[in-house]
Structure 1
Amino acid sequence: MKWTVMTLVKRASEILSERGIPSPRLDAELLMCCLLGWDNRVKIYTAYDRPLSAEEVEAYRQLIKRRVKGEPVAYITGEKEFFGFRFKVTPAVLIPRPETELLVEKSVELLKSMSKETLKIVDVGTGSGCIIISIAKLLKKDAEFFATDISRKALDVAVENAELHGCKVRFLKADLLEGVEGKFSAVVSNPPYIAYSDRRVESSVKMFEPSVALYAGKKGTEVIERLAFQSFDKLEPEGFLAVEFGEGQSEKVRDIFERAGFSTIKIFKDLSGKDRIIVGFKKE
């Protein structure tokens, strides 16, 4: 049989569907684009009848086999879109997720409203660097950007992404904010917030994504608690801490922020209506 782009995509999506893979058609199309070096899935429909060589068919089959085993598409293709920007990802970093875009959106809104001439922002547990880089590209104000991570491999990915997007970010290897000098206008973070016993974690996430970026301890809020107390000391007056947290944790994280000394605490819901982002301000 002579395979074309569309006939092979259709067959691959059928296979993925049969194996219970979520969004089988989308995954099949993304992997085809990866194979052929196409930037946009529209090309699949404009070049649907392009014939594929035996080598291309075999290479695509290998990509589909990896997806069938549960490996995330982002790790197979080596990239993921976040806030409209494309980022390199590897198994050393958490895959950027749509709900985290709310953290960027709210942080940028608050930073734009600040009256300070020069801002200093630090992203804690930066991973791929998608949060701080997106903020840097969207802020349009005079600012210094910093990011920390405990993983050197993750920092290497973040550095590469910053260079790719032409953003000047100072990356620091640190456990949260330990040993980080200076004061900041804002601390932002998508920290680990999953409890060790949480059974809601998808098997592919447990198998492939870095556990250090996922799990926080027995309660799930241990890292957020450490970060809140560290951040309060590191923030300038009127500065804020913005953190993503997990489902069912809103009361716990609010209590943590209050105990750490934050005031005017606000919680924002994601597009699915779940409490997702908490922001606390340090009074002058």
Structure 2
Amino acid sequence: MTPPSPVIAAGSTLASLQLRPPLDAVDNRILICHALGLSRVALITQSERALTGDEAQRLSALLARRLAGEPIAYIVGQREFFGLPFEVSGAVLIPRPDTELLVELALERLAPRARLLDMGTGSGAIAVALAHGRPDAAVTALDVSEAALAVARRNAAANGASVSFLRSDWFAALDDAVFDVIVSNPPYIASGDRHLSEGDLRFEPAGALTDHADGLSALRRIVAGAPRHLAAQGWLLLEHGYDQAEAVRALLAAAGYAEVQSWRDLAGIERASGGRRP
């Protein structure tokens, strides 16, 4: 698709650009800094700097992408998660603050030199954050997408995190591997959910968002398969949809997991559920 004609004029000052509608101030700031290679401090101290023709054209192209709805994280190629920078692209979901709850729950349950598995790792955000915070842990992360694993490997290297990556369709390639904690943020949006056609989700990989079924099929598969790969008293921790906590607890209870419970995110929504190995 041919980029739209520039909407920013050469000679525009940085100060004038920061007041430009219809984007909000934060989006404007991020795109200006990214297009011009400036820090936030430089954006302030160079407020009277005038754009060259090339800079105006480059910024115009980025603004057009944002106005078309493309997520800021994909435009700039990065998103912060658990205090760490992560590369993101259309091959992976954009890490979200809600998922930090899963990291916190896992950290609380990791004994010294524990073994942890992250299933459906995507960008590697969960696995890398855990390996970075607990370098003594043996962290393994799997995904069925080789494109996603390539992004995850780069994120692990960039953040100095030791993670073993494995291409696998859920448990298929694990053989007899056993872990003390298994975590997953699987596809849990039901097929046909209106949210899939709204906002950032329109640009994210559908296979990482929806199970193309009732939203619980991946969760069922993980709950059923995890016991074989959990050590005695090992924990299974799952992120799920805002309205799925009761259903996930029922799945865990029916499979015989102990200490089944759910935890709320900062918005007060039951965002994660888990239990100990049955």
TM-score scaled by structure 1? 0.90
SS at match of 1:200: helix
1:35 is aligned with what amino acid? Answer: A
CA distance in 1, matches of 2:196, 2:41: 32
In the other structure, the counterpart of 2:147 is 153
Q: Partner letter of residue 128 of structure 1? A: S
The CA deviation at 1:165 is 0.9
Q: Runs of 5+ in structure 1 lacking a partner?
A: 17-23
Q: 1:77 — aligned with what?
A: 76
TM-score (norm 2): 0.92
Q: Which residue of 2 aligns with 1:238?
A: 233
Letter in 1 for 2:34: C
Aligned to 2:5: none
Residue 173 of structure 1 corresponds to 167
1:65 aligns with 2:60: no
Give, in whole Å, the separation in 1 of the partners of 2:12 and 2:210. Answer: 44
Deviation for aligned residue 1:260: 2.2
The alignment partner of 1:254 has SS state of: helix
Q: Which residue is equivalent to 1:45?
A: 44
Match of 1:217 in 2: 212
How far off is 1:151 after superposition? 0.5
Distance 2:212 2:249 in 1: 18
Q: CA-atom RMSD, angstroms?
A: 1.5
Q: Give, as a single letter, the amino acid of the residue that structure 2 aligns with 1:50.
A: R
Q: Aligned equivalents of 1:51 and 1:278: distance in 2?
A: 52
Unaligned runs of 5+ in 2: 1-8
SS at match of 1:137: helix
User: Does the Cα contact within 8 Å between 1:232 and 1:260 map onto a contact in 2?
Assistant: no
SS at match of 2:142: strand
Question: How far apart are 1:42 and its partner, in Å?
Answer: 4.0
Q: 1:263 to 1:43 in 2, by over 3 A?
A: farther
Work out whether residues 109 and 181 of structure 2, in 8 Å CA contact, stay in contact via their aligned partners in 1. Answer: no
SS at match of 1:195: coil
2:14 aligned residue? 5
Question: How many residues matched?
Answer: 268
Equivalent of residue 222 in structure 2, options 197, 218, 227: 227
Residue 88 (1) aligns with residue 95 (2): no
